[in-house]
Structure 1
């Protein structure tokens, strides 16, 4: 469990935030806030990793506690800022803590932490809270933390739940639902912690079960929110991998057609196969351009085809014959042979959508690569 909470989840969240950086730079406020939400939450969890918190605690006693709380509140603030950017016309999204309240809360927490809380070194950073729970100075610090976090979680629950049906079905809606559930559990966690803090303040006896319930609620909250934040990027990453795979398959045929018919190239000219493979960003348009170039190249190759050569009329009907037909025609074109007919023949050419066009180009290019290897 410690490996999941202290290493895997922070790594997944920080990796997701790094993946979102280009969109955060070039897109609007929503993408920027979502990137900050994910990254700050990952850093907050990283502060609980003993390998990270230990050296910080050794240099400045108990500082990892303050850093974790401030990063958590900042993450919740930017999550709500993302909600406000996406659903600006929703009154629920305006009932939320914003950056001014975050700044005021952070300043108050920092002042209490350094001026009022005990400064002596403790075996673990969290001991500065657990060992002094029930004292006014500790209760004041934690009351600010839980009040701010509770308000953010309640606002997030209402907005995510209200707007989940407007999100398209799939991973995006699943992620939104998980975020709503995570915020709801987070609100329950803050309420529970306030109850525990009140019981400690009035001197009620503590039992391990009380703290275990809080730990379980915190873990469920983190897992739900972290999963909700990382699911939509997984869909984007899966689409990127699919596009890169199709582009890798199409590339040999695409490059040869582009060399013979430069005027047919849509977008940028083909680069080396390796450079195309390691190009980051959305490749949906690039792979579509490659498939359309192959399609137009087949039409332009008709005059160089052998007189008795025929092409398959349906998608995937005979990809091998299509590939051999293209190889023979490209060889004649590269050898400067005169075209067999003066005009391009548009016989038996079927109209296909982008998805079918990419699938057809990938199938034919696979056999073309085998024929030319």
Structure 2
């Protein structure tokens, strides 16, 4: 057994074990688990030591080969069921009414043809042994024909779903699964053509034919493993990114909600994940900002923008800096007991606008949070509060320090579409 086959077999069992808890909890994941478990079982029966042990125990030549091919039919049917759940969920019940009896008929036919195929002795390569045999050719045409049909339909559905998938990780995963099923189709066609050549007594170099078949088969399996793992990896990466974003905007949230505690949502009965917590923090910061807008003088925004303009910063950096100054001043006024401006009637609302870009907003709040807690921003706040349009001169050392330490983020995942900078104190 080659190293590639051994590694592929180990990966299949690892993926099957990894997906078992999800398959128990979520019905729509069970078909994919059945597919991986069946492919792993089929490949295990193809290991020479396991194959001979099964055949010797049963007393039937090449019984393990039949088991391997039956597991292959189960796997192809499970893959077809899985992609239908994703691509056309409304057709799942109708597909299963056809798929289950069709698979049962195919497996029964395969068993009958296996019994009719002469097997005078144990064979290490059942395909090669039955080249030119009518029952053996019929056996493999049924086997590879059913596999090829399932892979052709799966390829079409995977690629069609990949074009319409919204999430990038899901789109890549579906396309990779489509590539894997396409290689499965090529493998089925190649094996079928080889059997037909054998039936017509056309000479085919066995070693080279097996090498090509192995390349197609293991490429298909590897792509299916990879394609099914990409969306799961993407989800876990997003969870880590959400935790990091939540941790970075949490200091800003703490300051604003201390000044405006009534904007905090009551979700004590829930056990939210990081994505929900991040949404909650963004909404509460937004609501607190609406309330605090009444505690800033009408011209403070202009003065904060003018103060930020004194530095050679990107537009995003200047915006974050000015917003931090504005919020810092408003929080101080609110905590000092200052009355809100008479014209301010804004009320907190947990509803976000339809065109709201959540990821861009999170990146913006991360930048504001770091700017807010910069020592230089405290100096800039004092300067903006005491100066109308004059250049900023107070605390020049702190402000120079802000300019030196201000850098755009280098993390493309953190920066988002707008490349929001991070202002470090």
Question: What is the TM-score with the length of structure 2 in the denominator?
Answer: 0.58
Distance 1:163 1:329, change over 3 A: closer
Deviations 1:70-114 (A, max 9, x none): 444333223323444434789xx9799612222333455568779
Distance 2:191 2:362 in 1: 55
Q: Which moved more, 1:73-82 or 1:13-22?
A: 13-22
Distance 1:211 1:294 in 2: 63
Distance 1:296 1:171, change over 3 A: closer
In structure 2, which of residues 30, 33, 36 is the aligned counterpart of residue 39 of structure 1? 33
* 2:210 matched residue in structure 1: 211
* 1:10 matched residue in structure 2: 12
**Once superposed, what is the RMSD of the aligned Cα atoms?**
5.3
Distance 1:165 1:51, change over 3 A: closer
Deviations 1:307-337 (A, max 9, x none): 998785686426467557757876887xxx5
Secondary structure of 2:318's partner?
coil
* 1:145 matched residue in structure 2: 143
- Spell out the pairing of 1:82-93 with structure 2 (5 A cutoff): 82-85=82-85, 86-87=87-88
- Spell out the pairing of 1:200-239 with structure 2 (5 A cutoff): 200=198, 207=205, 208-239=207-238
Unaligned runs of 5+ in 1: 26-31
* 2:76 matched residue in structure 1: 76
Distance 1:81 1:312, change over 3 A: farther
Retained in 1: the 8 A contact 2:9–2:44?
A: no
Distance 1:39 1:250, change over 3 A: same
Distance 1:71 1:322 in 2: 62
Q: Is 2:286 the partner of 1:295?
A: yes
* 1:100 matched residue in structure 2: 101
Distance 1:360 1:67, change over 3 A: farther
* 1:254 matched residue in structure 2: 253
Aligned residues: 345
Distance 1:237 1:11, change over 3 A: farther
Deviations 1:264-297 (A, max 9, x none): 13463699xxx98xx47xx1x5423211211222
* 1:192 matched residue in structure 2: 190
Higher RCO (Cα < 8 Å, 6 or more apart): 1
Retained in 1: the 8 A contact 2:35–2:79?
A: no
Q: Is 2:356 the partner of 1:353?
A: yes
Distance 2:101 2:45 in 1: 33
Distance 1:72 1:312, change over 3 A: farther
In structure 2, which of residues 347, 369, 385 is the aligned counterpart of residue 365 of structure 1? 369
Unaligned runs of 5+ in 2: 56-61, 306-314, 346-352, 376-424
* 2:124 matched residue in structure 1: 127
Question: What is the TM-score with the length of structure 1 in the denominator?
Answer: 0.65
Q: Which moved more, 1:55-64 or 1:358-367?
A: 55-64
Secondary structure of 1:268's partner?
coil
